[in-house]
C-alpha cells in the first residue's frame, strides 16, 4: 500500500489529489492520509495544497522495499528484497535465508553492519546510512569450479555503474575490489555452499563506500568513498537499482557460457591490473610479474621474470601503486 502510494506520487506530473489516489487504490481517503503522514515522518517532503492534492518535493535516500522496487527493471535479481536497519553481516543473513530455501536473486540489504566481513574473516567497516551493504543470493545451475567467476561479473557491474552514475573513474582490482585513485571504494566477498558437482547456493556480498565522510586512521591510506573522491553525496538507492540491473544483464551472459567470453573486453577495459606489476602471494611462493590480461575463465595471466606466462587462479594480489605497494 505504501509502495503503491509512493509510486503514484513519483509518477504524478505535478499534484495528485487524495480523492484520485483513494479511487485508484480502492481505499479510503483517511487511509491515504495516514500513509502520507507516515511518509513525511520518514523524511519525505510532500506538499499538500487544498483542492490540488499532494506533490512529492523530495525523497530521502532510504533503502527500503518501496524505494528499491520503484523503477527497478530486472527479471529476478532483487525481485525479492529483504531490508534491515541493522545486521551483523548481510552475507551471514543471506546464508541463513538460503538455508531456509529463499529464491534465486534474493537481495539482502542493511543500512548498517555491525560485524561486516571481508575475505578470510577480516572486518569491514560499515557505518549506518553511508554505504551500500548488500548481498545477492544466487542458485546458478553450473559447475562449482566455474562459480568463482561470478565475483568478476559483479565487479564489472559495480564498476560500470559507479562510472556512469558518478562520472568518477572507478577501476576493478582483480579479483574482488573496486578502486578509485588507488584506494578501495568497494569490496566483494563471494561464498559458496556446494556438493562436489552441484551448487546449493552462492552469496555475493557487495560493500560500497558511498557517502562515508571519514575512515579510521588505519584505513585512511587504503580506503576512500564516492563522497570523498567526488566532493558530493550520491543516492545509494539509485546505485543499488542500477547495479542490480547491470549485474543481471552480465550474469545471464555468464550463465550461457559458464565463462566471461561475452564481457571480457569490458572487464579488461576497466581492470587496473592489466599491464601493471603485481605481486602474488601463495602458499609456498611469491610471484612477481606483469599482468598481460584476464582470461575468459577469469584467471590473471602474468608474465614472470623469465618471460613465462603464469596462470593465477586466486591468491592475494598486490598491484604496484595501489594500497601502499610502491
CA torsion, points 116, 121, 122, 123, in degrees to nearest 10?
20
Among 88, 144, 182, 230, binds its own copies (CB under 8 A): 144
Q: Is 90 annotated as a binding residue?
A: yes
d(CA 62, CA 304): 48
Site string for its own copies, 151-170 (x = CB under 8 A): x-------------------
Q: How far is the CB of 266 from its own copies (least distance, A)?
A: 20
Q: How far is the CB of 39 from its own copies (least distance, A)?
A: 40
Phi-psi region of 13 (alpha: psi -120 to 50; beta: other; left: phi over 0): alpha
258 contacts 279 by C-beta, under 8 angstroms: no
Q: Is the dihedral of CA 207, 208, 210, 212 positive or negative?
A: positive
Residue in 94, 98, 188, 185 with CA at minimum distance from that of residue 148? 188
Among 24, 37, 38, 143, binds its own copies (CB under 8 A): 143
Site string for its own copies, 46-75 (x = CB under 8 A): ------------------------------
Residue in 80, 111, 68, 112 with CA at minimum distance from that of residue 243? 68
d(CA 296, CA 175): 13
Between the alpha carbon of residue 205 and those of residues 15, 177, 215, 224, 319, the distances in Å are 40, 12, 20, 18, 23
CB nearer its own copies, residue 5 or residue 280: 280
Among 13, 100, 141, 217, binds its own copies (CB under 8 A): 141
CB nearer its own copies, residue 63 or residue 152: 152
Which triple of cell numbers denotes residue 11? 509518477
Site string for its own copies, 281-310 (x = CB under 8 A): --x---------------------------
Site string for its own copies, 170-209 (x = CB under 8 A): -----xx------------xxxxxxxxxx-x---------
Q: How far is the CB of 230 from its own copies (least distance, A)?
A: 30
Q: How many residues bind its own copies (CB under 8 A)?
A: 25
Q: In 15-104, which ranges are E strands?
A: 45-49, 53-58, 81-87
Q: How far is the CB of 193 from its own copies (least distance, A)?
A: 6
DSSP-assigned beta bridge partners for residue 49 = 53
Q: Is 111 annotated as a binding residue?
A: no
Element (H, E) at 94: helix 90-99
Q: Is 273 annotated as a binding residue?
A: no
CB nearer its own copies, residue 38 or residue 200: 200
CB nearer its own copies, residue 95 or residue 242: 95
Q: How far is the CB of 32 from its own copies (least distance, A)?
A: 47
154 contacts 263 by C-beta, under 8 angstroms: no
Phi-psi region of 52 (alpha: psi -120 to 50; beta: other; left: phi over 0): alpha
Question: By CB under 8 A, what part of segment 98-137 binds its own copies?
Answer: 119-120
Known binding residues for biotin: 89-91, 113, 184
Please report, as ranges, the residues that interact with its own copies according to CB under 8 A: 119-120, 141, 143-145, 148, 151, 175-176, 189-198, 200, 283, 313-315
Known binding residues: 89-91, 113, 184
Amino acid at each position: 500500500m505504501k509502495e503503491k502510494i509512493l509510486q503514484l506520487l513519483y509518477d504524478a506530473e505535478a499534484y495528485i489529489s487524495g480523492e484520485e489516489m483513494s479511487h485508484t487504490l480502492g481505499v479510503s481517503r483517511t487511509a491515504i492520509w495516514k500513509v502520507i503522514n507516515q511518509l513525511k515522518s520518514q523524511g519525505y517532503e510532500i506538499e499538500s495544497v487544498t483542492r490540488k492534492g499532494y506533490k512529492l518535493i523530495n525523497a530521502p535516500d532510504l533503502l527500503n522495499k518501496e524505494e528499491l522496487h520503484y523503477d527497478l527493471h530486472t527479471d529476478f535479481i532483487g525481485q525479492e528484497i529483504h531490508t534491515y536497519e541493522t545486521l551483523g553481516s548481510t552475507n551471514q543473513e543471506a546464508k541463513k535465508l538460503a538455508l531456509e530455501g529463499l529464491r534465486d536473486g534474493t537481495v539482502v540489504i542493511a543500512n548498517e553492519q555491525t560485524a561486516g566481513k571481508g575475505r578470510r574473516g577480516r572486518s569491514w567497516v560499515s557505518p549506518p546510512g553511508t554505504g551500500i551493504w548488500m548481498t545477492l543470493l544466487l542458485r546458478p545451475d553450473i559447475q562449482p569450479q566455474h562459480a568463482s567467476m561470478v565475483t568478476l561479473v559483479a565487479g564489472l557491474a559495480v564498476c560500470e555503474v559507479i562510472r556512469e552514475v558518478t562520472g568518477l573513474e572507478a577501476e576493478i582490482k582483480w579479483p574482488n575490489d573496486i578502486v578509485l585513485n588507488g584506494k578501495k571504494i568497494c569490496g566483494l566477498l563471494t561464498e559458496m555452499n556446494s556438493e562436489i558437482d552441484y551448487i546449493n547456493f552462492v552469496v555475493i556480498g557487495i560493500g560500497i563506500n558511498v557517502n562515508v565522510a571519514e575512515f579510521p586512521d588505519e584505513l585512511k591510506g587504503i580506503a576512500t568513498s564516492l563522497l570523498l573522491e567526488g566532493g558530493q553525496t550520491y543516492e545509494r538507492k539509485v546505485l543499488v537499482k542500477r547495479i542490480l540491473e547491470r549485474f543481471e544483464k552480465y550474469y545471464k551472459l555468464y550463465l550461457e557460457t559458464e565463462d566471461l567470453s561475452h564481457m571480457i573486453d569490458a572487464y579488461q577495459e576497466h581492470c587496473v591490473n592489466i599491464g601493471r606489476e603485481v605481486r602474488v602471494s601463495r602458499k609456498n611462493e611469491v610471484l612477481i610479474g606483469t599482468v598481460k590480461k584476464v582470461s575468459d575463465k577469469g584467471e590473471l595471466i602474468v608474465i614472470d621474470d623469465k618471460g613465462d606466462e603464469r596462470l593465477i587462479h586466486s591468491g592475494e594480489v598486490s598491484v604496484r601503486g595501489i594500497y601502499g605497494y610502491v
